[in-house]
């Protein structure tokens, strides 16, 4: 994992090579054509064997990796190379094309010829290098930020979650895209030749037989992890956040209840659910947890599958709104610092730090179950076209589900593990699609029923006007009779 360094000391980025920083007197980017030549120059002396060996030593189990790492850095050359990686601002991973359709001598594909790929293929490559493992070792998974660039036009970021939340990373990426759009090509600074640029230095490593054996083991562990990962990306296009807004509903609470009901339909129960709630308004604040699996959500889910015919559509919608309100109340509590999870974690950690006996509460099976998040969810909002954020499930028998709610569509990234016989990302996404239609139909049905009732039952003002009309006619009639 990255070490804490003074950011003023970070003077380089890395792509398995050390690059010096540009001139201190300019923040303008180099000419794109020259940068292309520069990268091509680097690619001419890439040693894939060295890269593979160094990269895969980082994907072993934590305990074994700690032992191997200590042995690895006992060599001065390895220690210096690792130090450069840990201190660099970020990594740049130059991936090979999964499709192998490059038609230019330097291996790059022009934008006009870039291969169109499905989201799952792109997500797999960004997360772990791809199912083919072609780029799996071209990563340093402990690095906070790895910018990944493919010869077929792929562009993404793999980031280690510990130092930062998604919102900070999204803001960074959106800033970069905005900068690129605002900077015209003519304003890019031109250098006369490659000689003006800092010379890249390949990082070198010393590997003995024991390290090579464990690298081979890491390769198999990585292959197993990649094959176990099940990603499905759903783009629901029949409506987006405009629909719940039209019905005076919070889009986030709406989606969270849809996720709860989807899980309930598949497993006939609700489970511990994690939804991140930002506490950034506090000093050093990061996130707390909104637990969407509330009693109100369970009551509504049971009503939705009730086949007795005794629960009306209006009552189901009322319970739905009640569940969303409970979700919203929890969200407000969390962002204001009144959440439960961080408080409980702090108490447990205080006991550990002071060598106190762990309180019985934290040893109770119920507490362990409450922290076994079968549903790990997060709203990740960005307006960048054709972009998404995905991650893995946090427990072996769970789902990871990020979502980005646009005005007219919703993008879900559902993940699980193939090794679990009870989970399936595609089935969850398909059930979620049915849920979105069910809730839309429920809201529409109740709205129509209310409109029909309104037509059949005139308002108080209409009744009053009718009474005045009748009264006026009666007076006129009496006056005529008197005359």
Active site residues: 161
Other C-beta atoms lying within 10 Å of the C-beta of residue 147 = 18
Note whether 314 and 446 are within 8 A (CB): yes
Q: Which two three-digit tokens encode residue 8?
A: 């003023």
Is residue 225 within 8 A of residue 59, CB to CB? The reply is yes
Instruction: For 148, list phi and psi in degrees, rounded to 5.
Output: -110, 125
Residue spans of beta strands (DSSP E) within 207-343:
229-236, 273-278, 287-290
Angle at 153 between CA 183 and CA 128, to 5 degrees: 120
Question: Within 10 Å of residue 413's Cβ, how many Cβ atoms?
Answer: 24
Q: Which helix (H) or strand (E) holds 475?
A: helix 460-482
Q: Which tokens sit at 450?
A: 């209310």
Helices within 186-250 (DSSP H only): 209-228, 242-246
Which residues 6+ apart lie within 8 Å of 410 measured at CB? 235, 236, 239, 240, 241, 255, 403, 404, 436
Q: Which of 235, 401, 260, 382 is nearest to 326 (CA)?
A: 260
Q: Which has the closest alpha carbon to 147: 121, 120, 176, 118?
A: 176
Residue 33 structure tokens = 């054509």
User: What is the Cα–Cα distance from 182 to 175, expressed in whole angstroms?
Assistant: 10
> Do residues 139 and 93 touch, judged by C-beta distance below 8 A?
yes
Nearest to 108 by CA among 150, 155, 51: 150
Q: Based on the number of CB atoms within 10 Å of its own CB, is 231 exposed (0-12), middle (13-18) or buried (19 or more)?
A: buried
Residue 235 CB contacts under 8 Å (≥ 6 apart), including other chains: 119, 409, 410, 411, 412
Closest among 183, 122, 184, 159 to 413, alpha carbons compared: 122
Q: CA nearest 256: which of 202, 196, 330?
A: 330
Q: Are 261 and 301 contacting, i.e. CB atoms less than 8 angstroms apart?
A: yes
């Amino acid at each position: 994992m990255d070490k804490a360094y003074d950011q003023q000391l970070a003077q380089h980025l890395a792509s398995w090579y050390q690059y010096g920083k540009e001139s201190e007197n300019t923040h303008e980017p180099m000419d794109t054509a020259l940068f292309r030549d520069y990268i091509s120059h680097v690619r001419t002396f890439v040693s894939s064997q060295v890269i593979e060996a160094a990269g895969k030593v980082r994907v072993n189990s934590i305990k074994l990796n700690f032992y191997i790492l200590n042995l690895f850095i006992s060599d001065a050359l390895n220690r210096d190379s690792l130090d450069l990686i840990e201190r660099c601002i970020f990594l740049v991973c130059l991936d090979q094309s999964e499709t192998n359709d490059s038609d230019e001598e330097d291996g790059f594909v022009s934008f006009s010829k870039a291969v169109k790929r499905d989201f799952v293929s792109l997500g797999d490559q960004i997360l772990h290098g791809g199912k083919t493992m072609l780029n799996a070792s071209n990563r340093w998974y402990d690095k906070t930020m790895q910018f990944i660039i493919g010869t077929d036009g792929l562009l993404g970021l793999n980031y280690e979650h510990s130092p930062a939340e998604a919102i900070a990373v999204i803001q960074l990426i959106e800033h970069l895209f905005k900068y690129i759009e605002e900077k015209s090509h003519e304003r890019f600074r031109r250098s006369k030749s490659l000689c003006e640029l800092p010379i890249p230095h390949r990082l070198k490593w010393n590997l003995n037989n024991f390290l090579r054996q464990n690298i081979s083991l890491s390769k198999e562990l990585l292959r197993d992890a990649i094959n176990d990962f099940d990603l499905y990306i759903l783009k629901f296009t029949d409506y987006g956040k405009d629909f719940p807004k039209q019905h005076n509903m919070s889009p986030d609470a709406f989606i969270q209840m849809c996720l709860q009901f989807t899980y309930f339909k598949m497993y006939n129960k609700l489970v511990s659910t994690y939804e991140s709630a930002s506490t950034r308004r506090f000093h050093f604040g990061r996130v707390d947890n909104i637990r969407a699996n509330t009693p109100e959500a369970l009551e509504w889910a049971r009503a939705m599958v009730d086949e007795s015919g005794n629960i009306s559509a209006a009552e189901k919608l009322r319970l739905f709104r009640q569940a969303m309100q409970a979700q919203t109340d929890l969200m407000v509590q969390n962002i204001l610092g009144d959440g439960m999870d961080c408080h409980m974690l702090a108490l447990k950690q205080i006991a550990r730090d002071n060598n106190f006996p762990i309180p019985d509460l934290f040893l109770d099976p119920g507490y362990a179950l409450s922290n076994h998040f079968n549903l790990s969810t997060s709203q990740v909002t960005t307006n960048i076209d054709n972009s998404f954020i995905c991650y893995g499930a946090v427990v072996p028998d769970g789902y990871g589900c990020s979502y980005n709610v646009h005005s007219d569509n919703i993008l879900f990234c559902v993940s699980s593990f193939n090794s679990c016989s009870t989970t399936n990302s595609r089935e969850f996404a398909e059930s979620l699609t049915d849920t979105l239609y069910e809730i839309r139909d429920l809201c529409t049905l109740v709205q129509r029923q209310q409109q029909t009732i309104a037509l059949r039952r005139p308002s108080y003002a209409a009744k009053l006007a009718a009474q005045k009309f009748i009264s006026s006619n009666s007076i006129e009639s009496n006056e005529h009779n008197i005359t």
